[in-house]
Amino acid sequence: MKKSSPAAIEENKAELTEWQVEMDRLQALRPVQSSRDRLKAKEIPLLESQIKEQEDAHPEISEKAEKV
């Protein structure tokens, strides 16, 4: 089949449409990735340090919680 034949052109158009749909889907995931990155880089470490502070400030409560 020649690259310039009508069938080849239609096939390429269909493939281009599929790639466009995929690109749009991936671009729509950017906000999700940003949220995930923010959680992993900032919020989770902050929460972990707050938990550690509370555990250090009240070790008896942590021991009771571990026993239960």
pTM of the full structure: 0.58
- Arithmetic mean of pLDDT, 11-22: 96
Confidence of residue 60 (pLDDT cuts 50, 70, 90): confident
Q: Residues 2, 8: contact at Cβ < 8 Å?
A: yes
- Arithmetic mean of pLDDT, 23-51: 96
pLDDT above 70 covers a percentage of the chain that reads 99
Q: Where are the domains of the chain?
A: 6-67
Query: Sign of torsion, CA 36 37 40 42?
Result: negative
